[in-house]
């Protein structure tokens, strides 16, 4: 397993950085509700953990937290030192969700903007995330207000945008891509969820049309990280609290998520190389023939 000391950051972390031990901070978002953000965030986090990464998953959906149900966790976080909160753990993931703090998980949370942003800040500042390769954030649907707040609180690596293939979904997704561009959140890639359905005879059906994911990726000038099939097992396992990547790692949908995790990791490793991490600039002594040429610079 790689250690955080060796893992290069793919994000700019300033002096005020609330999660100094985290190499990559990834927002999972979409302008559209119900496209599978929480499903993708949860399964992607597990797929990264199965690659040997140390992964945290933060449920940034304060109004409609999904992580407690999807991961079957209902405990209450404790504080060992009276200052920081220990995240809960499940399947090797470190977890935090507003759902762990509510008395009644079915009660409505009526919070106004400043409280919402305060809660998100606390989840970053006061939770003891420690050393992680990845912190994956499951965002609520909507305009991108939460993404903007988060990107102001913590240096993010960027966003993974989730969409479904059809036109009505992609229209809303374009808006969130534009918002990211405006506030300089890099789009790391697009995941097209519910792309197709394979029937018992093995015939593939594109129930919701096709091409949406690639169109969003083109618009965002990024790559399509993968396409996930519609599979009843995804919802069933999600409802049971064991995501499909954990419950059935050899299923086609779990393999497709693993592929997304591999592609994302490649993207972030390349970004970390460009940023040169915290190790200072790389000095290329090959005379420019050994890849990217970098010169020593004064810090």
Ligand X SMILES: Nc1ncnc2c1ncn2[C@@H]1O[C@H](COP(=O)(O)OP(=O)(O)OP(=O)(O)O)[C@@H](O)[C@H]1O
Contacts to Mg ion by CB under 5 A: 37-38, 66
Pair of tokens at residue 187: 């789009």
Pair of tokens at residue 208: 């919701």
Residue 228 engages ligand X in binding (rule: CB under 6 A): yes
Q: How far is the CB of 246 from ligand X (least distance, A)?
A: 14
Q: How far is the CB of 19 from ligand X (least distance, A)?
A: 23
Candidates 141, 158, 189, 243; binder of ligand X (CB under 6 A) is 141
Residue 7 engages ligand X in binding (rule: CB under 6 A): no
Candidates 235, 280, 291, 296; binder of ligand X (CB under 6 A) is 235
How far apart CA 170 and CA 149 sit, in angstroms, is 23
| Contact (Cβ atoms closer than 8 angstroms) between residue 9 and residue 23 | yes
Residue 238 engages ligand X in binding (rule: CB under 6 A): yes
Nearest residue (CB) to ligand X, 33 versus 291:
33
| Contact (Cβ atoms closer than 8 angstroms) between residue 255 and residue 228 | no
Q: Under rule CB under 6 A, how many of the chain's residues touch ligand X?
A: 20
Residue 163 engages ligand X in binding (rule: CB under 6 A): no
Spell out the residues 6+ positions from residue 85 whose beta carbon is closer than 8 angstroms to its own.
Answer: 77, 78, 79, 96, 126, 127, 128
Spell 49-84 as b/e; 16+ CB within 10 A means b.
bbbebbbbbbbbbbeebbbbbbbebeeebeeeeeee
Residue 36 engages ligand X in binding (rule: CB under 6 A): yes
Residue 59 engages ligand X in binding (rule: CB under 6 A): no
Nearest residue (CB) to ligand X, 33 versus 296:
33
Radius of gyration (Cα) for the chain, nearest Å?
19
Candidates 26, 27, 35, 46; binder of ligand X (CB under 6 A) is 35
For residue 54, how far is the Cα from the chain centroid?
14
In the list Mg ion, ligand X, none, the entry touching 231 (Cβ below 5 to 8 angstroms by class) is ligand X
State which H helix or E strand residue 172 sits in: helix 167-182
* Region binding ligand X by CB under 6 A among candidate stretches 13-21, 34-42, 119-127, 259-267: 34-42
Residue 62 engages ligand X in binding (rule: CB under 6 A): no
Residue 33 engages ligand X in binding (rule: CB under 6 A): yes
Nearest residue (CB) to ligand X, 22 versus 29:
29
> How many CA atoms, within 13 angstroms, populate the side-chain half-sphere of residue 94?
20
Residue 64 engages ligand X in binding (rule: CB under 6 A): yes
- Kindly list the distances between the CA atom of residue 178 and the CA atoms of 117, 145, 187, in Å, as whole numbers in the listed order: 22, 13, 10
* Region binding ligand X by CB under 6 A among candidate stretches 60-68, 150-158, 165-173, 207-215: 60-68
Longest dimension (CA), the chain: 64
Residues lying near ligand X in the complex (CB under 6 A) are found at 33-39, 61, 64, 66, 140-141, 193-194, 228, 230-231, 234-235, 238
């Amino acid at each position: 397993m790689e250690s955080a000391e060796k893992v290069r950051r793919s994000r700019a972390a300033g002096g005020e950085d609330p999660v100094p031990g985290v190499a990559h901070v990834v927002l999972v978002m979409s302008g559209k509700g119900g496209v599978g953000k929480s499903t993708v965030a949860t399964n992607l986090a597990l797929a990264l953990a199965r690659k040997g990464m140390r992964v945290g998953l933060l449920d940034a959906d304060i109004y409609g937290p999904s992580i407690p149900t999807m991961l079957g966790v209902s405990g209450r976080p404790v504080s060992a030192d009276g200052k920081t909160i220990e995240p809960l753990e499940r399947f090797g993931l470190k977890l935090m969700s507003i759902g762990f703090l509510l008395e009644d998980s079915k009660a409505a949370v009526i919070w106004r903007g400043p409280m919402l942003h305060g809660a998100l800040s606390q989840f970053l500042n006061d939770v003891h995330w420690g050393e992680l390769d990845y912190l994956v954030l499951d965002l609520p649907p909507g305009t991108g207000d939460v993404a903007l707040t988060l990107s102001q609180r913590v240096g993010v690596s960027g966003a993974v945008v989730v969409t479904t293939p059809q036109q009505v979904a992609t229209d809303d997704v374009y808006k969130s891509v534009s918002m990211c561009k405006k506030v300089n959140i890099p789009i790391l890639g697009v995941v097209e969820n519910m792309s197709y359905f394979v029937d018992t005879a093995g015939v593939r059906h594109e129930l919701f049309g096709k091409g949406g994911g690639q169109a969003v990726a083109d618009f965002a000038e990024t790559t399509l990280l993968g396409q996930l099939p519609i599979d009843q097992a995804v919802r069933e396992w999600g409802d049971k609290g064991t995501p499909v990547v954990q419950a059935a790692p050899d299923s086609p949908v779990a393999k497709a998520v693993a592929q997304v995790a591999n592609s994302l990791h490649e993207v972030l490793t390349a970004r970390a190389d460009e940023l040169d991490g915290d190790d200072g600039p790389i000095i290329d002594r090959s005379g420019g023939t050994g890849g990217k040429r970098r010169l020593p610079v004064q810090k």
